Structure formats: C-alpha cells, structure tokens
Amino acid sequence: MTIVLDDALNVVLYIALIALIITIICLIVKLIKTLKKVDNVINDVDQKMHKIDGVFDFIDTTADFANSISDKIINGIGNFINLLFKRKRGNDDDE
C-alpha cells in the first residue's frame, strides 16, 4: 500500500512540475512579445526625437544669440551710466 501511495505522490508531483514548466514557458513567451512591443515603441519615440533635435538645436542657438546681444546691450548701458557719473564727479571736482 505504501508503495502505491509513494508512486501516486510521485506521479502527482511530476504532473504539477510539468504544469509549472508549461506555465513558465507561456509566461516567458508573453514576456518576449511584450518586450518586442516595448522595443518598437522605444524605437518610434527615438526616431521622432531625432526629427525634433534640429528644432531644439535651432532654439538653443537662437537663445544663445539673444543672450549675447542682451549682454552687450546691458554692458553698453552700464558703461554709459558709468561714463555719465564719472563726468558729474569730474565737474564737481573742477568747481
């Protein structure tokens, strides 16, 4: 009787292991399909970003140019104000 019970438990255990292996294989196949879809989405986004990179480069160049012009204007105004104050101080010293 114990031999039959041991054999029956071994058969049940093997069937459970086979079901587990089949389940794992199905999950791996689904995971591979999902990863392929994610890879396609990432490639699509990457292609679109390469198309937009030119626009961002143009915006960056334009911003740098505007920044340099505004710096020159501010420096010019600052120098002009300094020049006006130096003249006023010079006139005060002469009198």
Q: 51: which 2 tokens?
A: 């198309």
Please report the pLDDT score of residue 66 as a whole number. 94
pLDDT digits (tens, 9 = 90+) for 33-53: 999 999 999 999 999 998 898
Please report the pLDDT score of residue 51 as a whole number. 87
Residue-averaged pLDDT of the chain: 89
Which DSSP state fits 75?
Answer: H
Percent of the chain that is helix, strand, coil (3-state, to 5): 100, 0, 0
Say whether pLDDT at 88 is over 90.
Answer: no
